Every structure is written in structure tokens, then in C-alpha cells.
Structure 1
């Protein structure tokens, strides 16, 4: 099997609205939007162990950047992986006092649990059955001073697990 991955991430905030979370990813033989887990697992020799938003990945701001995602593919057969990623070193900037979103990345989880960061653009990297391919997408940049975000919005973000308690304190100057 050959697994190709090209990803989007959280969208940038705009004046008056938070950025959208998890704007899109593509994988497979060709360019397909990631389908539901069950059809993907039926078609490909892997198990998707996790698909989750990454807390604190959206850039802090009066309007928060959208969150990136973490997807873990446990490979059931030897596979070649191709990556096409951007924003793995230089995060998407915030504006008007907003801060940058968190950079994404590609990782190989070896069978012993050790993680290895991969480059953003690779072709045909061999993976062994039992290893996992992990994709973390980038969060979008925030707009406006994070200290101007209403406390109720920060509390709602914490309740939705978009912002951690530590992130609320560090980035927004409030407890949740």
C-alpha cells in the first residue's frame, strides 16, 4: 500500500469570528477528502486509532485561530508514505495583536513507542506493519489581543476542550 498525505489545518481568525477548526485533509491514492473511519479502514490496511482536535493549537487572540487535528494511522501492512506539508517550521502568524497558531507535523511511531519527526515533504518512506503514521495539522493565527477575549468565550473554549487550563492562564490571563 502507498499512503499519501497532504493536509490543511485550522483556519485563521477574522475580525469578528474565530477561525474554523480542522479545515481539511487529503489522503489515499489520489486526492480524496478523508472519509469516515470505517470506510477508510475497509479500503486500506490500517486502523485509525485517533482523530482529535489539538487543544491550544489555534493562535490566541480576541478571535482565536482554528484548531489543528491529530490523526493516528496504525499500519497493518508494510507501507510507503508520502507527505506534502507546509507550516511545519514557521507557524501561520496572527495579526492585530493576535498570536501565531501552532505548527503541525508528521511523525512515525515505532512499534516500541518511540516517536520520530518526519520532514514535511517526503516520497515513498517505508513503514513497517505495526508502526503508526501520525499527522498533526497546523492551527490558524489569532486576531486581536488575546487579553481582550471575553472570559465567557475562554471558559466555553475550555469546556469544549479547545483551550487547556494552562493555555487559558498563559495566553488569555484567566483561569477556567
Structure 2
């Protein structure tokens, strides 16, 4: 899809197409739509990320709470978004053995208890074995640092999803 097609979309179509660029946050796409026209993929991406950066901390934490736990309950129940399902599957998180699932579940619970939102990681950019190590490492980060790190991961995910939709190069990560 080219940027001219994006700029010509009506509100409903834009939200349908871009509503999950930021996991389960179609209101962000709705707000970004009003910023048309976009000059290119980078410009569109900038509007999504500027919206996130402009939110108060509570709003940013709310965005993080829209994300599922990696290899968590939503994966087991089959209720992940299509994008999250592809991303977690691509990282090998859909084929964990019982011990690996239990370990991730424990780490996810500890992380959520410490920070108040789920652990967010751009799974497509991670190897299966690295996920629990990174989760364990980030458990020890100061909360303000972890909020910034988690939002950075949201942006990586958003960048990849936009590149998927517009045929851009995600290698700029």
C-alpha cells in the first residue's frame, strides 16, 4: 500500500487498517488520521509515536496494559490479536514446553506485580531463549527506566507493523 492510498482513506477505513499498529489502541489511529496528509511511512510513524510521547504517564502505562503477556493466558486461550499471534509464533513462543511456559508465567507475574503493566518486548526481534533472560533482567530496572524501555518496545512493534502494512523496510530498527 502506498502513502497516497493511506492519505485517501476515510476515517473508518484508516482505523480498520491501522487500529492495531499500537496493540489494541484504535483510538491512537483515530487521532493520527486527523493529521493527514502524511508524506511517507516515516511521517506516519512519527505521528503515532508523537501521540504516545505526548500522553501523561498514566496514558502511557495504559498503552502498555493493552499488550498481552508473552506466551501467556491469551495465547493459551487463542484470544491474541492476529498481529500478536504472528509475532509470538515467529519468536517460537507458541511451542514452549511446560517448564518454559511455567517459567515465563512466573516471570510475567513478577514483572506485572512490580511495574503494574505486562512485559512488552518486540518478539519478532527476539529469539525464544532470549525472552525469559530479558524479562528477568528488566525485572531489576528502576520503574522510570522500565517505562521508557517498554514504550521503546511498543514503538519497535509499531514500526514493524507499519512496515508490514506499507511495505517499508523494518531494517531501520
- TM-score for both structures, normalised by structure 1: 0.25
**Structure ranking higher in helix proportion:** 2
- TM-score for both structures, normalised by structure 2: 0.25
**Structure ranking higher in strand proportion:** 1
Highest CA radius of gyration, 1 or 2?
Answer: 1
